[in-house]
Structure 1
Amino acid sequence: MACINAEIVGQVDGKIQASEILTLRATAVVQGEIKISTLIVEPNALFNGTCEMFRKDASAE
């Protein structure tokens, strides 16, 4: 999944690339790879995988 901003409230398996903000709400379960500029994780959200962060002015690729 590639997007500018994403808010996850359920389960996602796979790759997420958000060029700005990825928010994992308390009910989120994410397994896989994320590539993001800004990450917000609420208490009780689950993330298992790899995370690559970049500055907003850098290429997301």
Structure 2
Amino acid sequence: MTGQMTKYKESLRHMPEPIMLSQIQKKVDLRGLMNYAKEKGIKVTQLTNEEKNRFLL
């Protein structure tokens, strides 16, 4: 158990600071993006960057 806790604490030290939602400059049409992926029958993560960029506002 202590080995797992050591690995966990080590991973926390290397983790970057979280990004606050207010710090994000671009807006995304998430509903449109998710519907598009659903129509194609794939997950959002499987879309190409070009396809995802269509939904940036």
TM-score scaled to structure 1, two decimals? 0.20
Larger radius of gyration: 2
- Bigger share in strand: 1
More relative contact order, 1 or 2 (CA 8 Å, 6+ apart): 2
- Bigger share in helix: 2
TM-score scaled to structure 2, two decimals? 0.21
